[in-house]
Amino acid sequence: MQSSPTEPFPWFGMDIGGTLAKLVYFEPLDISTEEKETEVDTLKTIRKYLTGNVAYGKTGIRDVHLEMTNQRLMGRTGSLHFIRFPTSEMMAFIELAKAKNFPSLASNICATGGGAYKFEQDFKLHVNLDLKKFDELDCLIKGIHYIDRNNISSECYYFKNPNEPEACEKLPFDFRDPYPYMVVNIGSGVSMLAVYSQDNYQRISGTSLGGGTFLGLCTLLTGCDTFEEAIELASQGDSKNVDKSVKDIYGGDYNKFDLPGKVVASSFGHMISKEKRESVSKADIAKATLVTITNNIASIARMCAVNQGIERVVFVGNFLRVNTISMKHIAHAMDYWSTGNLKALFLEHEGYFGAMGCLLELLKTGPP
C-alpha cells in the first residue's frame, strides 16, 4: 500500500541559473484508481504535457536520456524527468504556467539558483505564486548525493588515458565512499566546493571565467550562435594555431622546470602576429577558447585540491554538456600536473543536481 504524500502533487524542483533554468519533475506512476478519479484536470494536464513531450515551446528540452525510472520518493514510486530552457525565456515560462492553470494548484513552488531571487517578484506579480527559495550550493550537494545513490546505472565516471585518442576509455567510478571530495560546478561562472560529509561543505573558491565566458567569447570571435554550434566548431579546430607553446618560445622543452615543448605557454599568444591572425580559422579560435577556459578551470581546481589535501575532484555543470573535449582536457590536466595524485571525476546528470536537490527540499518542507 502506498502512503499518502505529505506534499500535494505536482512535485518540481527548479534551478534558475545565470544561463539555463533546470527543472526536475517527479511523475508518480503508482496512481490508484481512486486517485485517478479525483485527480484534478490541471494536474493531469501538467503531467501529460511534461511527460508526453520532449520539447516545450521553441527552447525547452527534456533530456530523455537522463530520465530515472522506478524512483521511490516519500513512499511514492515514479520517474524523474529532467528539463531545461534558457533563463532568458523565464517570463515565457511564467506565462506558460499561467496558461496551464498551474497557480490554481495548492502547491509550493520551490526554486534555487540566482533566478529564485531575481524572478521572485515576477512569480508573485504575474501568477500570484510565492517562491520558496533554497540555496543553490546546498541543493547541488544534496542533488549529487541523491542521484549518485539512486541511479541504477553508474552515475560517476572517469577517463582512462584521456590524452590518447585510441586508448581513451570512459569507465564507471565507485563513488559510494566519496568523502572528502571537491566539486567544481562549471555553469556561467564556476564555484569550487570542498565536501567533507553529506551536510558539511565549504565554498572554497570560484572564478568568473566559466561556461558563460566560453560561450560569450566564442560567439564574439567566431560569429557562432549556440553552445552546440560552438562545441561543434571547436571539435574541428586546432588550438596550436592560436596558442603559443613552450616550443614556440624555447625551440624545444624547458628542461630545468620540466615544461615539455608541447605545453601551452601563452593562450592566444600567436594572435599578436598579423600573419597568424590572417591564417587562423574560426574552428581554431573556437578550440583555443574552449581549451583556454578549460585549462584555467582545471588549474585553479588543482591548486584548491592540493590546498585542501583532497584527491577526488568532481566536475559538474552544463558547460560539460556534449563537451567531451573539455572533460578529457580536464582529466589529462589534473592527472598530468599532479603527477597522478588527483583524479577528475564526472557525473552523468551534469547540470541537474541543483534542481534535484531543490525537489528534495520541497519534499522535506511539506505543506505550508
Q: How many chain residues bind ligand PAU (CB under 6 A)?
A: 11
136 is known as an active-site residue: yes
Q: Report the 10 Å Cβ neighbour count for 154.
A: 14
Measured in degrees and rounded to the nearest 5, phi and psi for residue 72 equal -115, 115
Q: What are the E-state strand segments in 139-254?
A: 156-160, 169-172, 181-186, 190-197, 200-207, 244-245
Least distance to ligand ATP from the beta carbon of 132, Å? 18
- Residue 211, binding choice from ligand PAU, ligand ATP, none, Cβ under 5 to 8 Å by partner class: ligand ATP
In the chain, what's the furthest Cα-to-Cα distance? 78
Residues 134-163: x/- map of binding to ligand PAU (CB under 6 A)? --x---------------------------
Instruction: Write out the three cell numbers for 157.
Output: 565516471
Residue 207 interacts with ligand PAU (CB under 6 A): yes or no: yes
> Peptide bond preceding 10: is omega within 30 degrees of 0, i.e. cis?
yes
Site for ligand ATP in 280-319 (CB under 6 A): 317-319
Helix (H, G, I), strand (E, B) or coil at 279: helix
273-277, Cβ contacts within 8 angstroms, sequence gap of 24 or more: 276/241, 276/242
Nearer to ligand PAU, 209 or 263 (CB): 209
Nearest-approach distance from CB 281 to ligand ATP, in angstroms: 21
CB 308 within 8 A of CB 180: yes
User: Which one of 227, 315, 346, 353 is in contact with ligand ATP (CB under 6 A)?
Assistant: 227
- The nearer residue to ligand ATP, 212 or 237, going by C-beta atoms, is 212
Catalytic residue (choose from 7, 27, 89, 136): 136
Place of cell 503531467: 47
- The number of C-alpha atoms within 13 Å of 70 and in the hemisphere containing its C-beta is 4
17 lies in the site for ligand ATP, by CB under 6 A: yes
**Options 13, 19, 111, 297; binder of ligand ATP; rule CB under 6 A:** 19
Please state the closest distance from residue 188 (CB atom) to ligand PAU, in A.
5
Among 78, 115, 187, 317, binds ligand PAU (CB under 6 A): 187
Per-residue string for binding with ligand PAU, 335-364, x by CB under 6 A? ------------------------------
Contact status: 13 vs ligand ATP (CB under 6 A): no
339: which DSSP letter?
T
Q: Are 80 and 96 in contact (CB under 8 A)?
A: no
Per CB under 6 A, which region of 18-26, 35-43, 255-263, 306-314 contacts ligand ATP? 18-26
Which x/- pattern, by CB under 6 A, does the window 104-123 give for ligand ATP? ---------xx---------
Q: Which helix (H) or strand (E) holds 366?
A: none
20 forms part of the interface with ligand ATP (CB under 6 A): yes
Distance CA 360, CA 368 (A): 16
289: its cell numbers: 577558447
From 32, 40, 46, 37, select the one nearest 3 (Cα to Cα).
32
User: Using an 8 Å Cβ cutoff, are 90 and 21 in contact?
Assistant: yes
**Interacting residues with ligand PAU between 76 and 115 (CB under 6 A):** 114
Per DSSP, helices labelled H in 53-99 are 90-99
Judged by DSSP in three states, 149 sits in helix
Q: Which of 206, 216, 261, 269 binds ligand PAU (CB under 6 A)?
A: 206
Q: Which residues bind ligand ATP (CB under 6 A)?
A: 17-20, 113-114, 187-189, 211-212, 214-215, 227, 317-319, 321, 351
Catalytic residues: 136
Q: Which residues bind ligand PAU (CB under 6 A)?
A: 18, 114, 136, 187-191, 206-208
